[in-house]
Amino acid sequence: MNLTAHFTLAELTASAKARALGLDNTPPADVLPRLVLLAEMLERIRATLGEPITVTSGYRSPAVNRAVGGITNSDHTLGLAADIVGPAVGTPYVLAKRLAPLVQTLCIGQLILEGMRGKQWLHVSTRAPAQACNRVITITDAGTQPGIQELA
C-alpha cells in the first residue's frame, strides 16, 4: 500500500529484528494516519535532497522497539518517526547539515544525527520536542550534544 508517491506502508513497517524474532510489526489503525503524515514529511525531505532516501526503521510495535533497544515511548512506536540514510546524497552527517537549517520549512519536528555502536543514521520525527533546544541534536555513544556535530 502506497502512503505517498515514493513511500509504502511496507517500507515504513519493515523490521529485520521483527522478522528475526517472529514479532508482529503491524501498526494499529490509529497509527496509520500518522504514518501518512510521516511519509509526507519524507517526501519533502526527498524532494529537497533531490535523491532517494532509504528508511532503515519506521514504525515499531512496542515489542519490536524493546527488542531493538529503543527508548520507551519512542516516536517510532507512535508512527511519528523514521530513521533514514541517503547514500546518494552523502553520509548521515552530510544529510543532517543539509536539513538542519530547513527543519521549520520542511515541518521536521525533530532531527537527530545518531552515531551509535558503529552505525550512523538520521532520525526524523513529525513531532517537535517540548524544548526547542532538543529539536536538532546529535546523539552518540558519548551522549547528547546540541546541533549537528561531526561524527568520529
Over the window 78 to 97, marking each residue x when it contacts Zn ion by CB under 5 A and - when it does not, the resulting string is -----x--------------
Residues with Cβ within 8 Å of 128's Cβ and at least 6 positions away in sequence, in order, are: 109, 110, 135
**47 versus 116: smaller Cβ distance to Zn ion:** 116
Nearer to Zn ion, 50 or 73 (CB): 73
CB of 92 to Zn ion, least distance (A): 11
- If you ran DSSP here, which 8-state letter would residue 147 be given? S
Q: Please spell the DSSP secondary structure of 17-64, one letter per residue.
A: HHHHHT---PPPGGGHHHHHHHHHHHHHHHHHHTS--EEEE----HHH
Residues 110-139 contacting Zn ion, CB under 5 A: 123
Does residue 54 contact residue 23 with C-beta atoms inside 8 Å? Answer: no
Radius of gyration of the chain (CA): 14
Does residue 60 belong to the site contacting Zn ion (CB under 5 A)? Answer: no
Cβ closer to Zn ion: 46 or 83? Answer: 83
The smaller minimum CB distance to Zn ion, of residues 49 and 77, is found at 77
List of residues contacting Zn ion (CB under 5 A)? 83, 123
